[in-house]
Amino acid sequence: MKPNTTKAKLKSGGTVFGCFVRYPQASLIEVLGYQAWDFLLADAEHGTIQPADLENMVRAAELRGVTSMVRVTTNQPSIILRFMDTGVQGLHVPWVNSAAEAEAAVRSVKYYPRGIRGLAGVRASDYAQAIPMSEYVQQANAETLVVLQIETAAGIEALPEIVKISDIDVIFIGPTDLSQSLGFPGQPQHPTVQAGMQRIIDTVVGTDKALGIMVSSAAAAKEWRQRGARYIAIGLESLLGPAARDYLRAARE
């Protein structure tokens, strides 16, 4: 398994930047890989990406030395296993609402002795062709990046216990679902939602977990860096829309 450069950067105290892609196109990942992202994240929760698609998207990320990530559909061992077997270097688990759910997510990602992930000679293990499986297990447990999303009121309440769990690398705020859970759907700037986010910040910053966030612009990324975020992601649409509008506006003048 290749070294996880994004995980290494986070562990050394650095900040990493990535892009969410919900379209099952390996070529798109390959093109984005030329832009010096730390990680590229395939969104299987809010997109149509399946494990077969992800396998090729991971290959494309590897071409450019970019960390490959995936957001899975749900916190279930069988679902997580199929996506992890593609060779992806880490994953987001959405809707983590308790310490028990957080522990279950970690155990689904990690092999024995930390977890229960099924072991086979699949692409993740180089089809058992490169190194002994016993060595691969150790590498995978060390290199895989685990990101848990806190995006509900229940998740906020459980967070003090969640951050005590080992082998979680990032606590990621889901602003849109959090706004919905707190009663103000689609209004992440509402004071109640912002107060909820601040509780997450206060709980995570200063622990061994990095704070993660989804942003919509470079200005928002800078703001969140000041608030303590070190794992910062943006959606492809948030990049494409403004760039296209700026181009058309200038070209039509």
Domains of the chain with CATH codes: 5-252 (3.20.20.60)
Residue 46 known to be catalytic? yes
**pLDDT for position 134:** 96
Q: What is the pTM of this model?
A: 0.96
How, if at all, do strands 67-71 and 39-43 pair?
parallel
CA–CA gap between residue 160 and residue 99 (Å, rounded): 9
Q: How far is the CA of 226 from the CAs of 15, 67, 187, in angstroms?
A: 11, 24, 21
**pLDDT for position 1:** 77
Q: Where are the alpha helices (DSSP H) in the chain?
A: 5-11, 26-32, 51-63, 77-84, 99-109, 133-143, 153-162, 175-181, 191-204, 218-226, 236-252
**pLDDT for position 115:** 98
**pLDDT for position 231:** 98
Q: What is the mean pLDDT of each run of 10 residues along the chain (253 residues)?
A: 94 98 98 97 97 98 97 97 98 98 98 97 96 97 98 98 98 96 96 97 97 97 97 97 97 96
**pLDDT for position 2:** 85
From 3, 14, 35, 46, active-site residue: 46
